[in-house]
Structure 1
Amino acid sequence: MKYLNIFIAFFRSGILGYGGGPSSIPLVYDEVVKRYKWMDDEDFSDVLALGNTLPGPIATKMAGYIGYRVGGIVGMLVALIATILPTAVLLILFLTVLQAYKDIAWVNGISKAVVPVVGVMMGVLTWDFIKKSKGYFGWLMTTVLVIVSLIVLQVLSIHPGILIAGLLAAALLKKSKQADENLNKKVKTS
């Protein structure tokens, strides 16, 4: 049953994630966090952040890790198959049909109509993450992080992976500095 649930979760998000990996992230979130409760919001955010720093498609990286976490190596393989195989088959079928009928107005309209829907899905997920960040950092720090991230990504055109890696390094350095301070305090009190 566990492997069937893994397959269903990633099949659904893979088959309905029109527009590639980024558009399937909200769908994976719904399956993994809300429906099956394999992870909480913080774990999912960590997987998403780390997955964005690594090369390759985000949907398959997330499927591989989450499948492994839930069902070991077999779970990883099931999640990867559920993510890749159906979309590869549909890609071949849809592109064959679209190529044959691409000049028909309603076919062209369907392709263009999906773009704003994917944008709204990504916006809703982004707003959810911002609200959760507010609970941890407060509105001021969250707003500063959002603005700095927008500047780094949009104005400076720095890759998101570099931004995430920098934030992870800063968090590790801060944690390491706090650990050193705590150790010094213990030594002084001894």
Structure 2
Amino acid sequence: MKLYRDIFVAFFRSGILGFGGGPSAIPLVHKEVVGTFKWMNDDQFSDVLALGNTLPGPINTKMAGYIGYRVGGITGLIVALTAAILPTVLLMLALLTSFNQFKDNPRVQGMTHAVVPIVGVMMGVLTWSFLKKAKSGLGWKKASLLLIGCLICIVFLGIHPGVVIGVLLAGAFVLPEKKNKIEVHAKGKSESL
């Protein structure tokens, strides 16, 4: 029961604080899933994020569904999806009636515009943490070339990000991976993994 409560809390917090849509919720989900509850590591989270970006629909609910299922099975999936959409539903019901009265208010418009740089900073911090991990994986040169290549494809050539991510995922499965030999000493035996 504690696991389902934790799943609910994690996705409810990221849903209620993720004002500005999916991109603002991604770093919050990362903080909950990787930092607070440690259900996955950065590499696993980046895989979930990449997979979620290739599928249509809101990223927060896709990530909630997958992570909830992975952590708590079918019940975890239902709890995570409920927690992810419940803040939006409650806020829409509460604010829908008053929004029309205040939508032209300069303060409300200023708050809406102020969210954009905050989301940009949050996404930048998440990207920087992934780039730091790239040093131990691909290395700086390959990761930088990959980043620049993806940027050119998406921004300048107009290729959809889902296609770029799909090609990257396909490349990860096709290209051979270097196997690191790790010595495990158990009961006086040395095994290579």
Common fold: TM-score over 0.5: yes
| 1:186 corresponds to | none
Count of residues in correspondence between the two structures = 178
What is residue 4 of structure 1 aligned with on the other side? Answer: 5
Bigger share in helix:
1
For the residues of structure 1 that align with 2:133 and 2:161, how far apart are their CA atoms? 20
Q: TM-score, normalised by structure 1?
A: 0.88
2:39 corresponds to 1:16: no
Q: Structure 1 CA distance, aligned partners of 2:152 and 2:95?
A: 37
- Compared with structure 1, are the counterparts of its residues 95 and 149 closer, same or farther at alpha carbon in structure 2 (3 Å cutoff)? farther
Residue 182 of structure 1 is matched in structure 2 by none
- Residue identity (%): 60
| 2:79 alignment partner in structure 1 | 78
Matched, 1:93 2:80: no
Secondary structure of 2:56's counterpart equals coil
- Equivalent residue runs for 1:116-155 within 5 Å: 116-155=117-156
Code of the residue aligned with 1:105 in structure 2: it is P
Aligned partner letter, 1:107: V
In structure 2, the gaps of 5 or more residues are 179-193
User: Alpha carbon RMSD of aligned pairs, Å?
Assistant: 1.7
Deviation at 1:158, TM superposition (A): 1.0
Runs of 4+ in 1 over 2 A off after TM superposition: 91-98
For the Cα contact (< 8 Å) 1:18–1:24, is it kept in 2? Answer: yes
The alignment's TM-score, normalised by the length of structure 2, stands at 0.87
Per-residue deviation, residues 126-166 of structure 1 (Å, max 9, x unmatched):
11111111221111111101110110110111111101110
Superposition deviation, residue 86 in structure 1? 1.6
Task: Report whether the alignment pairs 1:35 with 2:36.
Answer: yes
Shift of 1:92: 3.8
Corresponding residue for 1:66?
Answer: 67
Residue ranges of structure 1 left out of the alignment (5+ in a row): 179-190
Deviation at 1:95, TM superposition (A): 4.1
Q: Which has the larger displacement, 21-30 or 84-93?
A: 84-93
Note the C-alpha offset of 1:19: 1.1
Which residue is 1:187 aligned to? none
**Alignment CA distance shift 1:157-1:96 (3 Å):** farther
d(CA) in 1 for partners of 2:99, 2:23: 22
Distance 1:156 1:14 in 2: 33
Matched residue type, 2:171:
A
- Match for residue 189 of structure 2? none
Distance in 2, Cα, partners of 1:109 & 1:121: 19
Identify, as 1 or 2, the structure richer in strand.
Answer: 2
Please say which of residues 58-67 and 130-139 is displaced more in the overlay: 130-139
Structure 1 residues 52-71: Cα deviation after superposition (integer angstroms, max 9, x where no partner):
11111111111001101111
Partner residue in 1 for 2:109: 108
